[in-house]
Amino acid sequence: MVNTRKAEVKCHVRYGALRGKSIARSSTISRLSARFQSGLDAHRRRNQFWKSVPRSSLILLYAAVFCLFASIGILNLMTEAAPPDLPQSLAYVCYWGLTASLLAASAVRGKYVFMPFLIAATVVAAIWLNRMMAHSRPAVPISSPLHMRFVVLGQVGALTLSAGYAFFMFFFSREGTRYFRAHAEIALARELHQALVPAIERRVAGFEIYGASIPSGEVGGDLVDFVESGDEWMAYVADVSGHGVTPGVLMAMFKAAVRTRMVSGCDASSLVAGVHETLYPLKTSNMFVTAGFIHARADRLSLVLAGHPPLLHFRRRDGEVGEYSSSDLPLGILPQQSFSARELECQPGDILLLLTDGITEASNPMGVELGSEPVKAAFRHSCDAPLPEIFRNIHELALRQGKQQDDQTMLLVRRMGAGTSKSM
């Protein structure tokens, strides 16, 4: 009985030991697998980074690699006691530069399978070039101190340049991963911006509305929107100060606040005041929002301009373009602000235009801004065209003045009636 008990204990001990080894082995395999997967992810991110680099930038990189390793070829020529003639020297220098550029291109494109062939071709070319230069007459005695100095300095210089290249590539590899992560976040922000600011093309209760925003960068701070609730609607344009992701985030919050207030059924001035109260605690101290709102309730139109460029009003009856200037501060300037609404008399055939200052402040190379008068003239000239065509004409006018430096946004509202265009 005692022997049986001892055997059972030994079996349990052996089983425990085997189980412990199995668990340790499984843990080791898991760690190795995790490291392998981490390496694959890093390799994938590096490949994605290099694929995102424009071709023009890659050409600059290859040119830099060529010049760097061509200088190594020049240093190697300095160590030779019998320097070759000029054609041979040029061939030797180009050999170094082209070889390094081809290897760099293979690494960037992930074509590692070609590297052994490139290395073999490099070795053959090196042997051929050395034999070609072996018949030159020595210019400096091999045993002279001057020759030894050239050899040492040339080899040290070649090693230093090679080390510098290795450090640069290591730097690009590390920082490229971080850059790609930031680039991916900006791309995501751009997609969100496109979803938040789509082009508007609507017809509602005797009005046709068209609006669009063209950002100057990856993420814009301008907003054009149309909200409908029951028998009333609101179309508006907003311009958040600054550029980049932060104004884009504030723009998204602004749109959400406007839509929430619109559903509650308040008038235009109360709506804008409520949006201001919502956004003021959420923004930084140096940010503000200019905005223009057109609110329709039944057949009555009202306008609220908060620090925004004037509303342009084309009147069909006299063919002139009038202005409604802003009398209120932009949203986000003071903790407590009030906003006023004014009635708009919009007859059939009239067109209302709200735009951001990216249009009127478009500048030529001399710094001269477009201004409002050319915009009025283009607006008046295009009054019989469909609203998208009016938008294109004014936008092209701004582009002819100068390269787009700011977001350019427009909202067009036409009162439909006899003699107006029926095509969008």
Kindly state the tokens that stand for 359: 């249009």
**DSSP symbols for 240-295:** ESS-SHHHHHHHHHHHHHHHHHHHHT--HHHHHHHHHHHHGGGS-TT--EEEEEEE
What is the pLDDT at residue 422?
44
Element containing residue 412 per DSSP (H, E): strand 408-415
CA distance linking residue 407 with residue 243, whole number of Å: 9
Q: Are strands 222-229 and 289-297 parallel, antiparallel or unpaired?
A: unpaired
CATH number of the structural domain 198-415: 3.60.40.10
What is the pLDDT at residue 424?
47
Phi first, then psi: give them for residue 366, nearest 5 degrees.
-85, -5
Kindly state the tokens that stand for 75: 């240093």
Question: What single-letter DSSP state applies at residue 368?
Answer: -
Spatial CA neighbour of 362 closest among 320, 407, 326, 331: 407
Q: From first to last of its 424 residues, what are the pLDDT tens digits of the chain?
A: 545 555 554 555 455 554 555 555 566 666 666 665 665 666 666 666 667 677 888 888 888 888 888 887 777 777 665 666 777 778 878 887 888 888 778 777 777 666 777 677 767 766 776 666 665 555 556 666 766 776 777 777 778 877 877 777 777 666 666 666 666 666 666 666 666 788 899 999 889 999 999 887 766 778 899 998 878 899 999 999 877 677 778 888 898 899 888 877 778 889 999 999 999 998 888 899 999 999 998 778 999 999 999 999 999 999 999 999 998 999 999 999 999 999 999 999 999 999 999 999 999 888 899 999 999 999 999 999 999 999 999 999 999 998 888 889 999 999 987 445 444 4
CA distance linking residue 247 with residue 368, whole number of Å: 27
CA distance linking residue 373 with residue 336, whole number of Å: 35
Spatial CA neighbour of 356 closest among 289, 262, 271: 289
CATH 3.60.40.10-classified regions of the chain = 198-415
What is the pLDDT at residue 288?
93
Q: Which amino acid is at 90?
A: L
What is the pLDDT at residue 391?
96
The answer to whether 232 touches 292, Cβ cutoff 8 Å, is: no
What is the pLDDT at residue 164?
76
Strand arrangement, sheet containing 222-229: 222-229, 232-240, 289-297, 300-306, 342-344
What is the pLDDT at residue 83?
63
Element containing residue 372 per DSSP (H, E): helix 372-381
